[in-house]
Structure formats: structure tokens, C-alpha cells
């Protein structure tokens, strides 16, 4: 069974989720659907580990919190994730950490829907890596906002119509479920979330304009922004040869466990590629579903 994509998503969006698609059968995955249509089974998050608390008598179950610029992820780890549980308790808080984990939900009473994360792996990182995650997650959030806007303009809202615009199957399906199950999705809230996150990195810098869905000038600005981004991405779009080189390198090194990120980069640099081109190719291959990250720092083909 194919391993689910680990979404880069802010706590502010994930914690707003109130809808879940339950898997049918023991092996079928369940998905938390966020208001922006992320269809989340697994997450890749980076933030500040602020606290770790043992909540069982034997100490085998712990609760922790990881903070990003928009909110706080709640983490539960137990005896079935002993290595991760031990790692959590060994880290001296506060500390920057990167985590891959599974989405979890809890409904204590009718009308209350709580989300958390069950960690699969956690490592300490530095502020530079954290800041890079914030930037990438801002871009992913912005892409989802634009996809929701496109869906809202459609008379017939179905995944097929969104996929024709170039969006992935997972996002297309998630957006249709979100529009169906969330009333009055507040896109301006998530635009503000992006702005606050970027200002967290560069205080006082106005990076994104306010969004007014019904304002034609704002739509024109968005169109111009898309054109600029398209020009910036032309090199990547036309770099099929680079992507093939990177993909072949991954296949060469991956084995059963996958290929280490550093080995991929080192080998590709020998062919004359720079780190930025390699990273752009890896991100593009992930977006196309040709590779995935089973664990942090390891790449494997699908």
C-alpha cells in the first residue's frame, strides 16, 4: 500500500478542522479534511517543542506541544511509538524539532472535534530549517487558497474539474469535500495567517496583499502575481532533464529503505547541478507523486 503524503500545514489551519473521512476496514486510511481542502493522513511539521508531559502512571504515554507561528500542535505518543516517546522525553525544551506523524481525531462530546498528531519520527533541527519550513508552508497554504477560489467559481464542483486545472488528485478531492462540509470558508483568515507567518520571519515586511474575493482589482493583482511566479518557475518547468537525472539518482541509491537526502545531493552535484536546482527538482517530483519521504531525510520512489 502506497505511503500517504506528509502534508506541510500550519497548526492554525489543521486545528480548524472539524471533518474526517473515516477509512472503511482496518487497513483503510482515514483523512482529516481541513477548511482549505488538505486531505491529511500524515503531516510534516517543524516548530518549537514547548513541553512534554507524562500522562500515564507508567510513563508510557506522553503529551507534548509543538508551536509554529499560527498555533500549537498537540502530540500524543505511547508505547507503540517507544523510540519516539523516548526521543521526546530526552529533548530539552524549548527546542526546534521536525516531526512526521499521523493525523488523529477525538470527539469527546457532540459538537466538539479535536485533532492531534501521533508521531512517527522526531529530530532536533535549527532555526534555519524551521524558517525554511515556514516559507514552504506559506506557499502551500497560498496554493490551497487559490485552488479553493477556483473551485468556488465552478458551477459543478467536482475533483475532475479541478484536476483539469493542474491540481493534484488529493487536493482536488479534499477541496470538494471541504466546500461541501464547511460553511462560509473564511479565506481572509488564512491569508492573514500567511502574512503573520511571513512577518514572523521579516518583522514589518508587507509580503502579501489583502484578499477581497469580490474585488476585481485584487483578482487582477493575483493574476499578475501568478504570471510573475510562472516566469520564475519556467526554468523548473523546462528542466525535465534535471528531474530525470535526480530521479535516476534516487533509484540508484534507494534500496529497500530509500535514498538519503545527502547522498542524492552529493551525487547530483557531481553531474554539475547546484543545490537549488536539485531541491527544486525534488520538490517537483514530490508534487508529481513520483517520489515521497517515508521518513525525514530519506527519499523513495513510488
Is 194 in the same domain as 211?
yes
Of 107, 125, 143, the residue that ends a domain is 125
DSSP state at residue 47 = E
Residue 175 pLDDT level (bands cut at 50, 70, 90): very high
More confident site: 153 or 224? 153
pLDDT of residue 152: 92
Is 183 in the same domain as 208?
yes
C-alpha cell at 296: 525525514
Using an 8 Å Cβ cutoff, are 134 and 70 in contact?
Answer: no
Q: What is the CA radius of gyration of the chain?
A: 20
pLDDT of residue 239: 67
Looking at the chain, the whole-number percentage of residues with pLDDT higher than 90 is: 47
CA separation (Å) from 169 to 69, 164, 176, 266?
29, 10, 11, 32
Q: How many CA atoms lie within 13 A of 48 on its CB side?
A: 10
Judge whether 268 lies within some domain: yes
Q: Could you tell me which residues come within 8 angstroms of residue 273 by beta carbon, excluding any fewer than 6 positions away?
A: 242, 245, 246, 281
Using an 8 Å Cβ cutoff, are 154 and 165 in contact?
Answer: no
Of 91, 125, 159, the residue that ends a domain is 125
Whether the per-residue pLDDT at 199 is higher than 60: the answer is yes
Whether the per-residue pLDDT at 298 is higher than 70: the answer is yes
Judge whether 15 lies within some domain: yes
What CATH number is attached to the domain comprising 79? 2.40.50.140
Which stretch of 81-85, 147-151, 205-209, 234-238 has the lowest confidence by average pLDDT? 205-209
Is 178 in the same domain as 84?
no
Is 205 in the same domain as 141?
yes
pLDDT tens digits, residue range 22-46?
877 667 789 999 999 999 999 999 9
Q: Could you tell me which residues come within 8 angstroms of residue 101 by beta carbon, excluding any fewer than 6 positions away?
A: 42, 43, 45, 75, 117, 118, 119, 120
Which stretch of 61-65, 71-75, 127-131, 209-213 has the lowest confidence by average pLDDT? 209-213
pLDDT of residue 120: 93
- Average predicted confidence (pLDDT) for the chain: 84
C-alpha cell at 143: 496554493
Residue 246 pLDDT level (bands cut at 50, 70, 90): confident
Judge whether 43 lies within some domain: yes
pLDDT of residue 226: 61
CB crowding 109-136: b at 16 or more within 10 Å, else e: eeeebebbbbbbbbbebeeeebeebbee
Give the whole-angstrom CA distance, residue 202 versus residue 170: 32
Is 98 in the same domain as 143?
no
pLDDT of residue 36: 97
Judge whether 224 lies within some domain: yes
Whether the per-residue pLDDT at 295 is higher than 80: the answer is no
Is 90 in the same domain as 138?
no
- What residues make up the domain containing 103? 6-125
Whether the per-residue pLDDT at 150 is higher than 60: the answer is yes
Is 182 in the same domain as 104?
no
Average pLDDT over residues 93-106: 93
Residue 211 pLDDT level (bands cut at 50, 70, 90): very low
Give the whole-angstrom CA distance, residue 96 versus residue 111: 34
Is 227 in the same domain as 189?
yes
Count of structural domains, the chain: 3
Is 227 in the same domain as 255?
no
Of 104, 125, 146, the residue that ends a domain is 125
Judge whether 71 lies within some domain: yes
Give the whole-angstrom CA distance, residue 145 versus residue 208: 13
**pLDDT winner (highest mean) among 86-90, 216-220, 243-247:** 86-90
Which stretch of 39-53, 58-72, 228-242 has the lowest confidence by average pLDDT? 228-242
Give the whole-angstrom CA distance, residue 103 versus residue 76: 11
Whether the per-residue pLDDT at 189 is higher than 70: the answer is yes
Judge whether 1 lies within some domain: no
Whether the per-residue pLDDT at 167 is higher than 70: the answer is yes
Is 120 in the same domain as 27?
yes
CA separation (Å) from 77 to 64, 80, 89?
8, 8, 10
Using an 8 Å Cβ cutoff, are 99 and 45 in contact?
Answer: yes
Is 182 in the same domain as 107?
no
pLDDT tens digits, residue range 272-283?
888 888 888 888
Residue 227 pLDDT level (bands cut at 50, 70, 90): low
Judge whether 198 lies within some domain: yes
pLDDT of residue 172: 93
Judge whether 302 lies within some domain: no
Is 49 in the same domain as 118?
yes
Amino acid at each position: 500500500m502506497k505511503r500517504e503524503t506528509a502534508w506541510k500545514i500550519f497548526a492554525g489551519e489543521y486545528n480548524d478542522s472539524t471533518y474526517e473521512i473515516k477509512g472503511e476496514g482496518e487497513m483503510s486510511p482515514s483523512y482529516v479534511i481541513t477548511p482549505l481542502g488538505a486531505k491529511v493522513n500524515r503531516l510534516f511539521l517543524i516548530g518549537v517543542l514547548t513541553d512534554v508531559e507524562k500522562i500515564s502512571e507508567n510513563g508510557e504515554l506522553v503529551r507534548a506541544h509543538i508551536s509554529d507561528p499560527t498555533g500549537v500542535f498537540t502530540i500524543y505518543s505511547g508505547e507503540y511509538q517507544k523510540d519516539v516517546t523516548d526521543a521526546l522525553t530526552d529533548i530539552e525544551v524549548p527546542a526546534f524539532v521536525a516531526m512526521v506523524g499521523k493525523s488523529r481525531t477525538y470527539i469527546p462530546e457532540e459538537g466538539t472535534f479535536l485533532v492531534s498528531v501521533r508521531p512517527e519520527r522526531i529530530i532536533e533541527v535549527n532555526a534555519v530549517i524551521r524558517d525554511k519550513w515556514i516559507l514552504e508552508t506559506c506557499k502551500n497554504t497560498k496554493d490551497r487558497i487559490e485552488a479553493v477560489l477556483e473551485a468556488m467559481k465552478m458551477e459543478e464542483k467536482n475533483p475532475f474539474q479541478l484536476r483539469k486545472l493542474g491540481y493534484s488528485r488529493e487536493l482536488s478531492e479534499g477541496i470538494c469535500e471541504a466546500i461541501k462540509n464547511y460553511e462560509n470558508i473564511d479565506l481572509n483568515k488564512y491569508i492573514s495567517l500567511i502574512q503573520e507567518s511571513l512577518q514572523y520571519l521579516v518583522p514589518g515586511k508587507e509580503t502579501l496583499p489583502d484578499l477581497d474575493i469580490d474585488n476585481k482589482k485584487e483578482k487582477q493583482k493575483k493574476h499578475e502575481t501568478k504570471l510573475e511566479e510562472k516566469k520564475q518557475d519556467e526554468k523548473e518547468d523546462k528542466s525535465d532533464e534535471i528531474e530525470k537525472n535526480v530521479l535516476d539518482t534516487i533509484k540508484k541509491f534507494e534500496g529497500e529503505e530509500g535514498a538519503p537526502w545527502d547522498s542524492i545531493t552529493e551525487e547530483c552535484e557531481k553531474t554539475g547541478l547546484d543545490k537549488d536546482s536539485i531541491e527544486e527538482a525534488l520538490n517537483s517530483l514530490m508534487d508529481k507523486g513520483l517520489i515521497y519521504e517515508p521518513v525525514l531525510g530519506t527519499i523513495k520512489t513510488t
